[in-house]
């Protein structure tokens, strides 16, 4: 096996964002672009000689080609073993599961998550470390530094490997195993949840359920778990064949992009339960009959009821949420008398707390929920949590959430996204507000009094690392919040996110529409930022 050293030059734009490196497919298709990033990652790890990794992706366009490139580079860099998901498929939570189960040194996950795919769509790559979680900031910064200093990468000449059959190959000293990407993950789910109980619910003719894989990675997982293991009717599953362009859709499980499921669930005689997941299977949306469960509520409900689920019956160690996620989870932590951490946006910030045994369940407002069973957010896990709770509590989704609100109060919550805004304008809007923060504290806007205005920074309690500039916060005297952040996952222009929260303890006011309940905060944020005028948008691109 002749190792070739290919001369290359750094690309200046390979700093990983909230979740890996995401760019247009056409950027990744540039000669040496992917190779540089992969070599920079290997270098940042101090070399990968004799290491063992998993690779796979969400099946999007360019997945197959990228996998073959990584396999050649892995062989040239001395990797001992690679596990590749059959047909190149591996969901993000399943990658985390196999790293941990087989004690691998890490994994490359090829995905741009919920971003659209196809030749004109997005591609992405992220590296997860030996704990199964996304590389922490100190590793991603090292990768970025290595990418800026890169002069060459190593590869070999080798024909493409057939990844469509379970098999073991040898390439020089590298052992390559094409493995079933579904089985280990499904086995883990069976350890956590009561499959007999969930199975009897799913087979009950009075119960109806729909799961929408959005033509993305969870299709094969959903078929194995819901149909083969739990006995659900095959027609409960929608769009379960992964497609390179996600069927032309946007594999983002929210009220706008999961339109097919949303239409079913908000119709007359809707199913009792509906759920969807995203491109790489780490996000989830939970719906009841004509009812949307806000992701911030979902994680709070799961945490409050976790003792009813086999895997958590011995209690929870702690809880955590990203800063913009509503404080509904904090109320649960208080009741359970356990810690609740507030971290910056992105799953990588939960890793240290999970590894240190300080944390059992965590979540983000962006449809991400999970626990210490892996080190990633996990879409199907969240769906199974809800099914398990429905089976135990014998209540509707709507009733479970309302019961929760009556006990803990309702945290009205909404996120407004302005997508593909001119980067300069978006940066100016954020910078202007940041500059005015100091003058806002103490000011009154109608009934709203600002008690605190800052740019969120986070000191990791385990390794003491500091992450600054994680989102602008206005916190009001009644604990309402307005938050402004720039997205770190987009590939075109900039995405501005405005987040709104208001806590309501009066049961008589709990059934308002969130947009109505939050209207004064929304109006104030729009006035303070002048976002509509400056972006030239009449309304946000997506409202959740």
Applying CB under 6 A, among 274, 346, 363, 514 the residue interacting with ligand VG1 is 346
**Stretch in the footprint of Co ion (CB under 5 A) among 34-42, 184-192, 270-278, 398-406:** 270-278
In the block, which residue shows the tokens 């969807």? 276
Pairing outcome for strands 339-343 and 106-110: unpaired
**Stretch in the footprint of ligand VG1 (CB under 6 A) among 360-368, 443-451, 512-520, 529-537:** 360-368
C-alpha closest to that of 472 among 439, 442, 435, 445: 435
Site string for ligand VG1, 274-313 (x = CB under 6 A): ----x---xx------------------------------
Applying CB under 5 A, among 35, 146, 194, 278 the residue interacting with Co ion is 278
Verify binding: residue 370, ligand VG1, rule CB under 6 A.
no
Distance (Å, whole) CA 55 – CA 202: 33
Instruction: Compute how many residues bind ligand VG1; rule: CB under 6 A.
Output: 18
C-alpha closest to that of 292 among 235, 362, 367: 367
**Rounded least distance, CB 241 to ligand VG1, Å:** 20
Site string for ligand VG1, 130-159 (x = CB under 6 A): ------------------------------
Just list the catalytic residues. Answer: 113
Verify binding: residue 280, Co ion, rule CB under 5 A.
yes
Verify binding: residue 345, ligand VG1, rule CB under 6 A.
yes
Residue 88, Ramachandran bin (φ over 0: left; ψ between -120 and 50: alpha; else beta)? left
> How many angstroms separate the Cα of 298 from the Cα of each of 125, 281, 286, 326, 383?
28, 17, 8, 11, 10
- Which two structure tokens, joined as six digits, stand for 247? 């069927």
**Rounded least distance, CB 113 to Co ion, Å:** 3
| CB-CB contact of 471 with 486 (8 Å) | no
**Rounded least distance, CB 478 to ligand VG1, Å:** 25
Verify binding: residue 19, ligand VG1, rule CB under 6 A.
yes
Verify binding: residue 18, ligand VG1, rule CB under 6 A.
yes
DSSP one-letter string for 109-160 = EE--TTS--STTSEEEEEEE-TTSSBPPHHHHHHHHHHHHH--EEEEE--PP
Can you tell me whether residue 448 is helix, strand or coil?
Answer: strand
Applying CB under 6 A, among 487, 529, 535, 544 the residue interacting with ligand VG1 is 487
Interaction residues for ligand VG1, span 74-133 (CB under 6 A): 113-114
* Residue number with CB closer to ligand VG1 (76 or 490): 490
**Stretch in the footprint of Co ion (CB under 5 A) among 70-78, 283-291, 344-352, 435-443:** 283-291
Verify binding: residue 218, ligand VG1, rule CB under 6 A.
no
* Residue number with CB closer to ligand VG1 (274 or 368): 368
Can you give the length of the chain in residues?
A: 544
Distance (Å, whole) CA 294 – CA 411: 10
* Residue number with CB closer to Co ion (113 or 535): 113
**Stretch in the footprint of ligand VG1 (CB under 6 A) among 239-247, 333-341, 344-352, 458-466:** 344-352
Verify binding: residue 330, Co ion, rule CB under 5 A.
no
Applying CB under 6 A, among 33, 123, 179, 347 the residue interacting with ligand VG1 is 347
Residues with Cβ within 8 Å of 121's Cβ and at least 6 positions away in sequence, in order, are 24, 25, 60, 61, 112, 115, 245
3-state helix, strand, coil in the chain (%, to 5): 35, 25, 35
Applying CB under 6 A, among 244, 488, 493, 520 the residue interacting with ligand VG1 is 488
How many C-beta atoms lie closer than 10 Å to residue 86's C-beta?
18
**Rounded least distance, CB 282 to Co ion, Å:** 4
Residues with Cβ within 8 Å of 419's Cβ and at least 6 positions away in sequence, in order, are 490, 493, 495, 541, 542
Residue 457, Ramachandran bin (φ over 0: left; ψ between -120 and 50: alpha; else beta)? beta
* Residue number with CB closer to Co ion (77 or 325): 325
* Residue number with CB closer to ligand VG1 (265 or 542): 542
Applying CB under 6 A, among 16, 121, 132, 368 the residue interacting with ligand VG1 is 368
Distance (Å, whole) CA 531 – CA 78: 51
Interaction residues for Co ion, span 106-125 (CB under 5 A): 113
Burial letters for 19-32: b for 16+ Cβ neighbours within 10 Å, e otherwise? Answer: bbbbbbbebbeeeb
Sites of contact with Co ion (CB under 5 A): 113, 278, 280, 282-283
Sites of contact with ligand VG1 (CB under 6 A): 18-19, 113-114, 278, 282-283, 322, 345-347, 364, 366, 368, 487-489, 497
């Amino acid at each position: 096996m002749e190792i070739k050293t290919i001369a290359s030059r750094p690309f200046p734009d390979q700093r990983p964002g909230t979740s890996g490196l995401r760019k247009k497919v056409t950027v990744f298709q540039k000669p040496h672009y992917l190779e540089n990033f992969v070599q920079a990652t290997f270098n940042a790890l101090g070399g990968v000689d004799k290491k063992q990794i998993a690779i796979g992706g969400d099946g999007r366009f360019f997945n197959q080609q990228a996998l073959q490139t990584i396999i050649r580079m892995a062989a040239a860099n001395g990797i001992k073993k690679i596990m590749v998901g059959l047909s190149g498929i591996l969901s993000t939570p399943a990658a985390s599961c196999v790293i941990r189960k087989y004690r691998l040194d890490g994994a490359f996950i090829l995905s741009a998550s919920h971003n659209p795919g196809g030749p004109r769509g997005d591609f992405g790559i992220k590296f997860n470390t030996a704990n199964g979680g996304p590389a922490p900031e100190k590793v991603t910064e090292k990768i970025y530094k290595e990418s800026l200093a890169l002069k060459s990468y190593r590869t070999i000449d080798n024909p493409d490997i057939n990844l469509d059959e379970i098999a073991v190959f040898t390439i020089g000293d590298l052992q390559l195993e094409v493995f079933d990407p579904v089985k280990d993950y499904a086995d883990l789910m069976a350890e956590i949840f009561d499959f007999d109980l969930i199975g009897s619910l799913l087979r009950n003719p009075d119960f109806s359920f729909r799961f929408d894989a959005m033509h993305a990675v969870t299709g094969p997982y959903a078929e194995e778990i819901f149909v083969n293991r739990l006995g659900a009717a095959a027609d409960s599953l929608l769009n379960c064949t992964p497609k390179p362009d996600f069927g032309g859709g946007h594999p983002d499980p929210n009220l706008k992009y999961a339109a097919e499921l949303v239409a079913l669930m908000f119709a007359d005689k809707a199913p009792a339960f509906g759920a969807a997941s995203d491109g790489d299977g780490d996000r989830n949306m939970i719906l009841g009959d004509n009812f949307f469960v806000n992701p911030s509520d979902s994680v709070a409900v799961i945490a409050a009821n976790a003792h009813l689920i086999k895997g958590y019956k011995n209690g929870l160690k702690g809880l955590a949420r990203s800063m913009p996620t509503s404080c509904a989870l904090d109320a649960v932590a208080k009741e359970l008398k356990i810690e609740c951490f507030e971290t910056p946006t992105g799953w990588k910030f939960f890793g240290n707390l999970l590894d240190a045994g300080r944390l059992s369940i965590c979540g983000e407002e962006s449809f991400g929920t999970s626990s210490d069973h892996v080190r990633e957010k996990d879409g199907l896990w969240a769906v199974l949590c809800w099914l398990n709770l429905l089976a135990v509590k014998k209540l509707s989704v709507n009733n479970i959430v309302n019961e929760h609100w009556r006990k803990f109060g309702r945290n009205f919550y909404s996120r407004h996204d302005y997508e593909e805004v001119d980067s300069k304008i978006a940066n100016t809007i954020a910078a202007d507000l940041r500059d005015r923060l100091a003058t806002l504290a103490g000011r009154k806007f109608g009934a709203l009094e600002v008690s605190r205005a800052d740019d969120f920074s986070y000191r990791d309690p385990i390794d003491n690392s500091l992450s600054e500039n994680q989102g602008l916060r206005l916190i009001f005297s009644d604990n309402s919040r307005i938050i402004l952040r720039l997205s770190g996952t987009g590939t075109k222009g900039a995405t501005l996110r405005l987040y709104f929260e208001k806590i309501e303890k009066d049961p008589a006011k709990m059934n308002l529409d969130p947009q109505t309940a939050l209207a004064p905060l929304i109006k104030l944020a729009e006035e303070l930022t002048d976002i509509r005028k400056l972006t030239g948008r009449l309304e946000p691109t997506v409202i959740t």
